[in-house]
Structures are given as C-alpha cells and as structure tokens.
Amino acid sequence: MPLAGGDGFAGYTIVRQLGSGGMGEVYLAQHPRLPRRDALKLLARDVSADESFRERFLREADLASTLWHPHIVGVHDRGEYDDQLWISMDFVDGHDAGHLLVERYADGMPIELVVEIVAATASGLDYAHNQGLLHRDVKPANIMLTQLDEKTERRILLTDFGIARMVDDISGLTATNFTVGTVAYTAPEQLTGEQLDGRADQYSLAATAFHLLSGAPLFEHSNAAVVIGRHLQTPPPPLASVHPELAPLDPVLATALAKNPAERFERCSNFAAALAEAAAEKPSTTKHASAAQAPTQAASTSPPTLTAQPKLPTRDDDRPGPGDHGSKRRRTALAASAAAAVVAAATIGWLLVDHRRSAPPPTAPSSNSAAAPPLSTPLSVAPPPPPPPATFAASAIDTLMLSPTQIRTLTGNVFSGISPTEDMVVAKSSYGMADNTGQVRPPTCVGVIFGAEHSVYSGSGFQEIRDQTLDPSTYTSGNQLEQTAIVFPTTEAAQASWESQTKQWQSCTDLPSEVPGTTGLQMGQRNGEGGYTWTLSTVKIAADLITMSMAGYDNEAGSDRACQQALGVRNNVLVKVAACQGIQTNQSVFQDTSAAGSYGQRLARAILEKIKT
C-alpha cells in the first residue's frame, strides 16, 4: 500500500507521492534531521528480497553518491527499512522532459531547448563515464528540468542514478516488467548482451533527442519485439520527414545512432557539440558529410580526439565486439531472443567498469598552415591581422584531465599506485570550487597550494572548472597530485587571471620567515591534526607557464613533502598542477625545494598540449 502524507519511513516523514513504477515508488520526504526535503525512492519488496540485487544496489548506490556534477541529481543516502531498499536523492522541483513533451510540445520541442538538454545531459554522462559508471537508461523521463521562463536560471539534471537493476541473466524477463518504454531508447549492443561502454548511453541520448525534436519515439510501435528488431536492423528515420527544416541534424543523429558503437562519436559531448553546430547552420548551406563519415571530427567545437583509438573498457572482453565479423548475423539471430529477454539488457542502473583500463583523454592533432605566396608588387598597406586563437569549448573540459596511466607514464612511474606498475586512483573529483582558506597561513596564498579555490576564481567569470586529486590508493598516503582546468569565455579573461595569480605567487615567495632567524618557511598549512610549514622557491616565469617548488615539514607527524606547483595558460584555458611527493629525511627542518623535481611542469605542459592553438 502506498505511503500517505505524514507517514514515517526510515526516519523520513512522507510529504506526498511523486510517482510510481515497476521498480517501486518515489516520495517527497522531510529529512530526519536537516531542514531539507529529499526525493525518497522505495524499491518494491520483491526486488529488495533478492540477495544478490541487494548487494549490488548498496555498492552501486555508494558509487553514485560520490558523484558531483551540475547536471546530475545527487544521491545522499541509502539503506533498508521494513524489508524495502531505499535511496534518497535531491528533490528537483520541476518536470521531466517526457512530461513537457506531452503537455506542451506535442509536435516536438524547440530546437534551442533540445540542444540545451542534450548538452547538459552529455556533460553529466561524460563525467560519469570518466568515473567508470554507465547509466543505461537515458530517456526523456529521466531528464528533469526546472523552470521554463527567463526570470530564473533553468536547471537540467539527469536522474535515476544508483538504482541497480537485475541484469545478470537475460532469462529474467517477466510479463510485469516488459514494456515498450523499456527498449524505446536502448542501444543495439545493450539489447543483444554485447560489451558496453559510454557510447551505449550516447545512443540512448540520441534516441531521446530524436523524440524531443520530432514528438515521436525513434521506432514507434506497440509491439516491443518490433521496436527491438528495428533498433538492431533498421536505419533511423530522418527528422526531415517530419520537420524538413531539421534536415541538417539528420547526419549528426545518424552517427550517434549507428548500429556499430565504433561508428558513433567518441564521447557524448562530441555528439552534443555536433548537434549544436548543425542546429546553428541554415538548411541551404548545411554540409554534414564529415559528421556522417567521421564521428570524432563532426564538429569544430568538439574536443580533440585520438588519431588511433585504444580499446575502451568493457564488461566482457571474451565476447566478440560489435565490430567483429559476423556480428550482423549474430544481431539478426538475437533479435527474437532479445525481445523475449530484454530485462537484462534494457533495465537501468550503474555499470561499474575498470578504471585502470579506461582510454586516455584524446590528444589534439597539430596543424600547419601553408605560408601565403609573396605579393609581386609591394603595397603600402598593413599585413592582415593574425587569426584569433581558437576557443576551447567548456563542454569538453573533461578531455583535459590526464588519466592515471598517462600520469604514471609521464612521470616515469614516480606518481603511481602502491607499486610502480599500478596507476593512482582518483580520490576526489569535482566541477566546483572549494574553500581552503582556513587551512593556509596567510589565507591570501591559498591559490599556491590548492587548485579550484573560491577566493581565486569567484567572480572571475569562468565558464567551467574541473578538479581532480589522485592518491596511490584509497587506503594509503604518499605521493599526491591535483590537476585543475578552468575554461574562461575569452582568451583575455584567462590571461588576466594567469597574470594576477603570477603576481600573487611572487608576493607569497617574498613573505618573511615564520621562524625568527631563518630564511624560507614563509607559509603554513593545516593537515589533519598537524600541519606543514613550507619553504618556497622563487617563481620561474615562462611565456605561458609559471612554476614554483615547495618543501614542507610537519613536526607533529614527522613527515616531509616536496611539491612543484605549475600554472599555465593557453587560449581561454587556465591549467594548474600540484605534484607532491612524500620525502624521507633525517632533517629536523626540511627546506630542500629542489627535491620536488619538475613533475608539475611536465604534467601541466601535457595538458596544455591538448588545447588547440
């Protein structure tokens, strides 16, 4: 029986029901202690009774709770109460895209709104994929929108994260949970149980975009088996057949909806950028042959891509991939069985993939411009101005992050996991600013040590910020690395921030010693119960990169550290890397800044090289 307003559940107080489905019910609930209302999802008792499902649910809900992204609904808590598993999430006061489509846009949403929805959702998906998670149920009903007027800022969020599904065995299909909606947006390789990566979510996002633009699902039919068969065999119908003015979008959608994942865009943000570019072009001048032929080169605003693509992380390496010979025959043979066993492949949840086998971020190819021939007759006119520098797309900020494998390789295994052959792990990852001013003495020098500082970038007008901290493992301390990227709307804004911070770094190195009668020891930093006292080297300034080395000792913990800080700028992007090593020394006051090496500079340069000039 559904809960009523005022009922209690796991300490929460129910306000009202928000919705229900085959997996359970969702309620608006008052938090037990905080002055906050959450969306509380209760899973059905028969689902909760499955032991293997319960273990997977708890594990994957924990993983989902570590995600923070402006376009992902946050997961707060999970547990089991009265024989029911539950999970609490942010409450989004708005409507899902499917509801808006039915209520307001029966013939399809405005193209500008769809482009905005796709861009936001793609950003959240790429972030999740970088953390080793797949969504597997991207659809209009799982995309939430707040207000639709211009008075307040609209938010677009992807929801239903952390809900594990029973996907162990394709024989688990039952008549109660098999619906056309289950498969309407599902990728072919997901339907046939083949190996999955982030491009399965991209297919679902493209199918969602088609529905939002046209007002009808990609393959509309009342029989789910027919829908599955069309996903596996039938090319996507052209948007132009419904809305001729949307013809420029057809090649982009055809790429994202390719049956073979290898023929799709490399990342969801590539698809979003290509869609935005196509939407901005006039039908009479649109040319999208490149989008259909080469997914990784479909849009000039898409992030740079690898010239030779490594194998992406998958669930089942022993299975033939979708690009193997015979896959088309296998897909045909599996169409009927997939219709009879779709729950395993089409239900949603998080899929954990191997972090250490994740493909490295794409690297920007170099380009050379041919020199113009000299004029036969000298003219007394000024030469044409140089072309403006390329602007890096904020939506592609994830591509700037170095992978743990790249970091280990670039540093000669110095920044590695527990052993030199293992990778570091991402201990902290965010798209927001932090406030560590209370940990640094004097607070004005906080930007020297930390990357995404509120006091440094608040009010700077940046578009996107990305910050990652990596450790040898989740259980040990030792070498630590922080990489930060900040995308500004213009080159001038990025350059101004770099110059301002250069001056601030120099002022920090000029501070007097905190210990009378000594040199150095200019800064203090709290670290747990103890704290470091840092000696700073002079700031070395190059055309686009500044570096500074630091040596710190902790009298209470007896540990020493040496760090190189690097801050670089290229076009409209600012990059900061802090590469810190644990140092074993018998010195009572450690001040050898040369022990830091040049790892910060090396890694910052590698990130800058990804930015096209």
Please write the tens of the pLDDT for every residue from 108-128.
999 999 999 999 999 999 988
R_g of the chain computed on alpha carbons:
26
Sign for the pseudo-dihedral over CA of 392, 396, 398, 403: negative
Q: Which of 569, 450, 438, 560 is nearest to 505 (CA)?
A: 450
Asked if residues 600 and 566 have their Cβ atoms less than 8 Å apart, the reply is: yes
pLDDT at 314: 35
Share of the chain above pLDDT 70, in %: 74
- Residue predicted with more confidence, 188 or 299: 188
Beta strand extents in 44-90 (DSSP E only): 75-81, 84-90
- Number of other residues whose CB lies within 10 A of the CB of residue 493: 18
When pLDDT is averaged across residues 311-319 and rounded to a whole number, the result is 33
When mean pLDDT is compared across 18-22, 187-191, 201-205, 341-345, the lowest value belongs to 341-345
When pLDDT is averaged across residues 27-42 and rounded to a whole number, the result is 89
Which domains does the chain possess?
8-90 (3.30.200.20), 95-301+329-353 (1.10.510.10), 394-608 (3.40.1000.70)
For strands 440-441 and 523-527, give the pairing. Answer: antiparallel
- Number of other residues whose CB lies within 10 A of the CB of residue 583: 17
For residue 252, the surrounding DSSP H or E stretch is helix 250-256
When mean pLDDT is compared across 61-70, 341-350, 395-404, the lowest value belongs to 341-350
* Distance from C-alpha of 351 to C-alpha of 167, rounded to nearest angstrom: 10
When pLDDT is averaged across residues 533-560 and rounded to a whole number, the result is 85
State the pLDDT confidence band at 22, using cuts at 50, 70 and 90: low
**DSSP assignment of 104-166, as one string?**
T-TT---HHHHHHHHHHHHHHHHHHHHTTEE----SGGGEEE---SSSS---EEE---S----
Residues known to be catalytic? 137
Q: Which of 224, 186, 200, 219 is nearest to 336 (CA)?
A: 224
Tokens of 480: 């630590």
Question: What value, to the nearest 5°, has the Cα angle with vertex 441 and ends 435 and 443?
Answer: 40
> What 3-state DSSP class applies to 466?
strand
51 has which bridge partners? none
pLDDT at 355: 33
**DSSP assignment of 401-420, as one string?**
SPPHHHHHHHTTTSS-SSST
In a 13 Å sphere around the CA of 445, the CA atoms on its Cβ side amount to: 23
> What 3-state DSSP class applies to 261?
helix
Cα–chain center distance at 83 = 35
Residue 172 in this model has a pLDDT that exceeds 70:
no
Answer yes or no: pTM beyond 0.75: no
Residue 129 in this model has a pLDDT that exceeds 80:
yes
Residue whose pair of structure tokens reads 């999430």 in the numeric block? 89
pLDDT at 452: 93
Q: pLDDT digits over 512-529, tens only?
A: 887 666 667 778 887 655
Rounded alpha-carbon distances, angstroms, from residue 482 to 368, 407, 444:
33, 11, 19
- Residue predicted with more confidence, 309 or 338: 338
Contacts of 599 (CB under 8 A, 6+ apart): 411, 414, 415, 564, 579, 581
When pLDDT is averaged across residues 487-514 and rounded to a whole number, the result is 91
Q: For residue 288, which amino acid is it? A: H
- Residue predicted with more confidence, 529 or 95: 95
Q: pLDDT digits over 271-308, tens only?
A: 999 999 999 874 433 333 333 333 333 333 333 332 22
pLDDT at 556: 61
> What 3-state DSSP class applies to 273?
helix
Residue 1 in this model has a pLDDT that exceeds 60:
yes
State the pLDDT confidence band at 86, using cuts at 50, 70 and 90: very high
Residue whose pair of structure tokens reads 């890397």 in the numeric block? 577
Strand order from edge to edge, sheet including 8-9:
8-9, 12-21, 24-30, 37-43, 84-90, 75-81
Phi first, then psi: what are they for 471, rounded to 5°? -125, 165
pLDDT at 4: 92
Asked if residues 414 and 422 have their Cβ atoms less than 8 Å apart, the reply is: no
* Distance from C-alpha of 273 to C-alpha of 291, rounded to nearest angstrom: 11
Q: Which of 115, 116, 133, 117 is nearest to 125 (CA)?
A: 133
When pLDDT is averaged across residues 257-264 and rounded to a whole number, the result is 94
Question: What value, to the nearest 5°, has the Cα angle with vertex 246 and ends 244 and 249?
Answer: 135
Q: pLDDT digits over 220-242, tens only?
A: 887 888 889 899 988 999 998 88
The mean pLDDT of the chain is 77
pLDDT at 119: 95
pLDDT at 536: 92
Q: pLDDT digits over 353-395, tens only?
A: 333 233 333 333 333 333 333 333 333 334 445 545 568 998 8
* Distance from C-alpha of 319 to C-alpha of 194, rounded to nearest angstrom: 7
Helices 268-280 and 111-130: crossing angle in degrees, nearest 10, is 160
State the pLDDT confidence band at 153, using cuts at 50, 70 and 90: low
pLDDT at 529: 52
Residue 360 exposed, middle or buried by CB count within 10 Å (0-12, 13-18, 19+):
middle
* Distance from C-alpha of 285 to C-alpha of 289, rounded to nearest angstrom: 12
Residue 532 in this model has a pLDDT that exceeds 50:
yes
Asked if residues 301 and 280 have their Cβ atoms less than 8 Å apart, the reply is: no
Tokens of 548: 């500074």
When pLDDT is averaged across residues 91-101 and rounded to a whole number, the result is 88
Asked if residues 577 and 534 have their Cβ atoms less than 8 Å apart, the reply is: no
Residue 322 in this model has a pLDDT that exceeds 60:
no
Q: pLDDT digits over 130-144, tens only?
A: 887 888 889 998 999
21 has which bridge partners? 24
Q: Which of 514, 519, 593 is nearest to 555 (CA)?
A: 514
pLDDT at 195: 84
66 has which bridge partners? none
Q: For residue 67, which amino acid is it? A: L
Start-to-end CA distance of the chain, whole Å, equals 62
Tokens of 339: 């219709």
Tokens of 223: 């029989």
58-80 burial, b for 16+ CB within 10 Å, e for fewer? bebbebbbebebebbbbbebbee
Asked if residues 405 and 414 have their Cβ atoms less than 8 Å apart, the reply is: no
- Residue predicted with more confidence, 153 or 442: 442
Look at the chain and count its residues.
Answer: 613
* Distance from C-alpha of 612 to C-alpha of 301, rounded to nearest angstrom: 11
- Number of other residues whose CB lies within 10 A of the CB of residue 188: 26
When pLDDT is averaged across residues 574-595 and rounded to a whole number, the result is 85
In the 8-state DSSP scheme, what is residue 453? B
Residue 206 in this model has a pLDDT that exceeds 70:
yes
